[in-house]
Structure 1
Amino acid sequence: MSEQEQRDADTADVPPWAAAAVDGFARHLALERGRSAHTVRAYRSDLASLFTHAARQGVDGLDVLDLGLLRSWLGAQTDTGAARSSLARRAAAVRTFCRWAVREGLLDTDPSVRLRAPRRDRTLPAVLREPQMSAVLTRAADAATPEHPATLRDTAILELLYATGVRVGELTALDIDDIDAERRTLRVLGKGNKERTVPYGVPAARALDTWLVSGRPALAREGSGPALFLGARGGRLDQRRVRDIVHRATAADGRGPSAGPHALRHTAATHLLDGGADLRAVQELLGHSSLATTQIYTHVSVERLRASYRQAHPRA
């Protein structure tokens, strides 16, 4: 799909009177604020939802937007079961859009100034225990054979996600040149186009080398380019396929619900802290802009300690 076709698809549900504003805002996010293509698409989707709701209410222009309409939009999503985190993100997207629209002269006043959304749920991230994670990786390695190159790829993916804690989008964006095999590090482009260097261990290095030598050449095609991980047709592996790979691998023993790539990110961070890693080192590894985001993993460790205490202490 071309860049223009992607833009057309992203704004397919936007009423005509709002389409130009959404396009202008998307260019602002991408070119002036350096937001990733994934983030820009998410903002487009949120705005399409808002303006579709507005059109159903009889609105036919940006200048008619008001606080009541924004609140009714969030209320309609609440009625359909949207999570608090989703509502908070969508409200933030609309506030950002409205501030931009005022600066551009598309709105006289900002109707989102007093818009409030429910606070995000502060839930502890799901993590796999060390024996569980070890079993997942062992099963993957045992099933990996050169006769089935995708199995070598999947093993390398699982090892790298656990070894580095990278986001699934960061993993799929990796190119071969982003690997420094001698130093065992990856060059990762994270949120806000911030680049960081992430180390990985010996098991991940072995799995990665096996994939590059015995697996990737079998899937590579003329148009594969430098992508590190390839799909069955030789193109860059997409995020949805990685999620399928991880869910299938973590559900293989049937002992509990499957986990996705983000759970492996949580697992890597928690195991590092359990092993004595410095919180700021984990922050750097994960690419968090704020230490407060990383601190949630210390809560996971404390909860695990409390659970062990309750189970083992006679006077717990």
Structure 2
Amino acid sequence: MPVTLKGTLKPGEADRRYYMIRVQVAGRRVVVSSGTRDKTLALRKESEIIEALHRNPLMTQADVVALVTGGGTNRHKAAIRAEGGLTLKEAFDRCLKSPTVWQGIKAHAEYARNCRAIEEILGGDTPLASIDYHAVQKLTNGLMAKPLPGANRPGQTLSGATVNNHLACLRRMFNVALEDHWPDAPNAFPKVKSVKKRKGRGYFMDAADERAIFQAVLDLDKARPDAQGGHPRKLDAHRHHLLFVVLVESGMRLSEALGLLWTELDFPRGERGGMIELFRHEDLKTGRQRSVPMTETCAEALKACKGVPEGPFKDLDDRRAQDIWSRARVAAGIKHRDCVIHSLRHTCASRLLESGVDLKIVKEWLGHSSIATTDIYTHLQTKQLSSAAQSVHRLRQAASAAC
């Protein structure tokens, strides 16, 4: 039955009418106020009532009202718990398939893995209504004890940041259920708290480190197979050298650089600087479009890739890049555990800050969604602080000599 406005519109007075919902399901008629003058919202509430009555024809009038207002009676909550209601796996699948939540984004596969890991600990058939504070604690403890895949050291577990990424999936699902008023889910959830984590990676390159590891990358093409022989080696280290140069000059993520298209590159012309246009949401981690300035060194490295179809690094892949980097790091003698490909992004950010670039500009350059994320780079300037201390010492020596 169509929703209808109730009330009288008097001349000169504000329209305070609201839509009434009248439905009939399995011989039962229900009349309830929608509490809104928004017809679209009223129709959505009407469909929720019809769905709830089909699922539970004996649903009381009080529980119908609670469903419309977004509140809930103890009886209604007990009924959901008794019937089981929506399970954890069903809730995660609903988010993964929703175009307004996780469907179609670049991190979809990562979110799916995180959801499956949560289901392993709590049980995919667990009703949402039964997830309380103790269940969240069980999940947090289970994630913190979870072995790190491919760990080099025995007993190595997930980092605090990775645990928080998993917990964020649960928190997001809870929020979506509340915001979208899922009729088959509880109207209250336990709070999901993040664990403490290390404040960003503590490593970024100085000029000497950069020269050492970049030269080690190039030298990989000069090495020869050992005495055991084997298949001919793919001599592509020089291509990865160009990739790493672009990463440290632009601050892009590895995935962003590998996915670059020639149509996204606007090379310098005359006095106008070049620009890298990152607009494809499916290839961006945060989905935020941005333009990355192209330095002269970056432009030269990209131009050296001319001839590669589609994009400058479309012939490379993530796994091979990680292997090249690991071998070069060992050859260069850099033992810091945070000397990874992503440290090139940190290096770019640190150099921008060291050059006096405003923190807000660095945020836009890197494509961070929050200034707090960019702020972690400010504590990495230990070498700059040491240089400042040396300047103070030289000033004191000069003052002493003048006396």
Q: Tell me the TM-score normalized by structure 1.
A: 0.75
Question: What SS does structure 2 have at the residue aligned with 1:191?
Answer: coil
Q: Which residue number corresponds to residue 199 of structure 1?
A: 293
Q: 1:176·1:227 contact (CA, 8 Å) conserved in 2?
A: yes
8 Å Cα contact 1:162/1:264 also seen in 2: yes
Secondary structure class of the residue paired with 1:212: coil
Alignment of 1:77 with 2:171, yes or no, is: no
Matched, 1:135 2:215: no
Q: Which runs of 5+ in 1 are unaligned?
A: 1-15, 221-225, 232-236
Indicate if the aligned counterparts of 1:152 and 1:210 stay in contact, CA closer than 8 A.
Answer: no
Q: What code does the residue aligned with 2:325 have? A: V
SS in 2 for 1:292: helix
Select 2:118's aligned residue among 50, 60, 63. 50
In the alignment, structure 2 segments of 5+ residues that lack a partner are 1-85, 147-156, 223-233, 397-403
Asked if 2 retains the 8 angstrom alpha-carbon contact of 1:251 and 1:257, the reply is no
- 1:93 aligns with 169
Amino acid at match of 2:261: D
> CA–CA distance in 2 between the matches of 1:298 and 1:71?
33
Amino acid at match of 1:95: R
Q: What is the aligned-residue RMSD (CA, Å)?
A: 3.2
Whose radius of gyration is greater, 1 or 2?
A: 2
The answer for the alignment partner of 2:50 in structure 1 is none
- Contact kept, 8 Å, 2:129 with 2:185, in 1: the verdict is yes
Match for residue 369 of structure 2?
289
**Matching residue of 2:96:** 26
Is 1:272 equivalent to 2:358 in the alignment? no
In the alignment, which residue of structure 1 is the partner of 2:260? 174
Match of 1:111 in 2: 189
Q: Distance in 2 between matches of 1:111 and 1:97?
A: 10
2-structure distance, mates of 1:126, 1:177: 34
TM-score where L is the length of structure 2: 0.60
Supply the AA of the counterpart residue of 1:42.
E
Could you say if the C-alpha distance between residues 181 and 310 of structure 1 is closer, same or farther in structure 2, counting changes exceeding 3 Å? closer
Aligned residue-pair number: 278
CA distance in 1, matches of 2:127, 2:387: 59
Give yes or no for contact 1:178–1:186 (8 Å, CA) kept in 2: yes
Distance 2:216 2:196 in 1: 40
Shift of 1:96: 1.0
2:184 counterpart SS class? coil
